[in-house]
Structure 1
Amino acid sequence: MSYKFIYFDLDDTLLDHQSAEAAGLKDVHDHFDFFADTTPNQLVKVYHQVNSKQWGLYSRAKVSRDELQRNRFELTLKELGLDGSRYEEVGNFYMQAYRNHWQWLDGAREVYQTIVDQYPVGILTNGFAETQRKKFEDFDLYDSAPNTVISEEVGVLKPHPDVFAHATEKAGVDRDEILYVGDSFSSDVEGGTQFGWDVAWFTENGEPEKHQKADFVFNDFMDLKNLLKV
């Protein structure tokens, strides 16, 4: 395989977003007294369900960014039988707590740095622009991946083809010379392959028919290292 450019997704591909999210929510639970009759796991479960749905609506332009930020906490609180009007203070505290728990996924940092030594790389990510930029800064990704694309700044979210078109133009190579490494089936695998990129899908499971849509499936970063022969 002769790729000329490697793009990486960020959250749950390089950085462990799920663990940071859960830890941040547990900090929220411990901080606010009104969660006393709710377990941390209940908060994490309900928030994850609500947040996933709201991001789906946001990606289809069914809600605005402000509505997403409000709804994900207001609806979570209401679902738990709590006062939804506290959404703003809960949301603000969560974002601070979430940032305290950012870390690399196991095995990702070492393999990423090895790949960076031999390929030009970029980061292509959904997420709030200011949060993703802070991650780029904290993990020195601007230095290792000068091509960073935050879909919110493009104006549409993955899997919209305009995001991949913009990223391809920034990479300066043909679309069939790019490998994209990501964890989301809809955003990364479907979005990337439909645009003509090869996609390495980082996943712990997944249905066999979904596996067939990716060019490479792995759950250990050493397998990605071996694929690229670095």
Structure 2
Amino acid sequence: MRETPFGQVRAVGFDLDDTLCVYMPVAVQARRAMMERYLAPQTGLPIETLDQHYKRAFHSVLEELHTERWYPLYLREGRATRTETFRRLLRSLNLDADGLAERISEEYAALREQMLHLHEESLEVLHALRGRYPLFVITNGPAYEQRRELQVLGLEGLFDIVAIEGEVGVGKPHAPIFEGVQRELGLPADQILFVGNSWAHDVQGARNVGWRAAWVNREGEPHPDPASGVPDLRDLRPLLEWL
């Protein structure tokens, strides 16, 4: 057990999307490619305008996500809610959604997966930690997509524990997904460090159950707690006294 600026750490965990891998920029690029291919030619609208329509459709589905209609489907696989988002987008543009929403949804998902990649330091950091600490990942999202991401990114086998919202039935920042991992680790809360890019979901979620937390703040956003921030994962090395 090592004394670090975060206290005595005996296990280290990570968020997946936009902490270990580049997700949101890839998702934006993939959906805009779909707009250029299918929507701009039919509507004559610029991509920025189409993207505003998409965001409204996305948030309308997000508002309904935790309902009996959508959440059980979402937990298993993201196809239904993803396709519904594109269906609402098409309807907002007065386009026939029959068949086209499904086609765009599938092509978007395939392109997003093809473009998905790790941050350049992620494997270096994980391999440096592995063998010194139990490693785990906690990620929100559907079971199928998140398992698939781990496979595509070559991360399978690097973690002692994998906790996915779609498999647990609840996501971050809610306590049960953190508490389930802690039970498997068999460690006191204050000896677990969790690393993530979301202040609300990752840092606050971990702290609410008594864990240590580090915020990966690559964008240099205003920081509620400067002592817990790191610009990228490499900055964890001196904090955890690897060097």
Q: TM-score range, shorter-chain basis?
A: 0.7 to 0.9
* CA distance in 1 between partners of 2:214 and 2:151 (Å): 25
1:59-93 deviation line (CA, Å, top 9, x unaligned): x4476144633432223334455444432221111
* CA distance in 2 between partners of 1:175 and 1:53 (Å): 37
1:191-220 deviation line (CA, Å, top 9, x unaligned): 111111111111223334xx22x8611122
Pick from 98, 102, 108 the counterpart of residue 112 of structure 2.
Answer: 98
Percent sequence identity is 25
State the partner residue of 2:82. 69
* CA distance in 2 between partners of 1:200 and 1:52 (Å): 28
* CA distance in 2 between partners of 1:56 and 1:196 (Å): 29
* Superposed displacement of residue 140, structure 1: 2.8
> Residues 22 and 62 of structure 1: is their aligned pair in 2 closer, same or farther, counting only changes over 3 Å?
same
State the partner residue of 1:218. 230
* Superposed displacement of residue 57, structure 1: 4.5
- Give the number of the structure whose residues are more often helix, by fraction: 1
The alignment covers a number of residue pairs equal to 225
> Residues 111 and 48 of structure 1: is their aligned pair in 2 closer, same or farther, counting only changes over 3 Å?
farther
* CA distance in 1 between partners of 2:59 and 2:198 (Å): 12
1:174-213 superposed matches below 5 A: 174-203=188-217, 204-208=219-223, 211-212=224-225
- Is contact 1:20–1:102 with CA below 8 Å preserved after alignment? yes
Is 1:227 the equivalent of 2:242?
no
State the partner residue of 1:129. 143
- Is contact 1:6–1:119 with CA below 8 Å preserved after alignment? yes
1:123-175 deviation line (CA, Å, top 9, x unaligned): 10011211111111122322111311101211112111111111212223222
> Residues 139 and 6 of structure 1: is their aligned pair in 2 closer, same or farther, counting only changes over 3 Å?
same
- Is contact 1:142–1:148 with CA below 8 Å preserved after alignment? no
Unaligned runs of 5+ in 1: none
* Superposed displacement of residue 119, structure 1: 1.7
* CA distance in 1 between partners of 2:92 and 2:160 (Å): 42
* Superposed displacement of residue 226, structure 1: 1.6
State TM-score, norm by structure 1.
0.85
* Superposed displacement of residue 108, structure 1: 2.5
Give me the CA root mean square deviation: 2.5
Larger radius of gyration: 2
- Is contact 1:22–1:44 with CA below 8 Å preserved after alignment? no
Pick from 14, 20, 33 the counterpart of residue 20 of structure 2.
Answer: 14
* CA distance in 2 between partners of 1:168 and 1:215 (Å): 24
Q: Give the aligned residue type for 1:161.
A: A
1:24-45 deviation line (CA, Å, top 9, x unaligned): 213323432x332244444445
State the partner residue of 2:33. 27
SS of residue paired to 1:180: strand
> Residues 71 and 158 of structure 1: is their aligned pair in 2 closer, same or farther, counting only changes over 3 Å?
same
* CA distance in 2 between partners of 1:116 and 1:27 (Å): 38
> Residues 108 and 120 of structure 1: is their aligned pair in 2 closer, same or farther, counting only changes over 3 Å?
same
- Is contact 1:159–1:186 with CA below 8 Å preserved after alignment? yes
State the partner residue of 2:76. none
* Superposed displacement of residue 23, structure 1: 2.5
* CA distance in 1 between partners of 2:203 and 2:167 (Å): 21
* CA distance in 2 between partners of 1:42 and 1:140 (Å): 36
State TM-score, norm by structure 2.
0.81
- Is contact 1:198–1:215 with CA below 8 Å preserved after alignment? no
Q: Give the aligned residue type for 2:33.
A: D
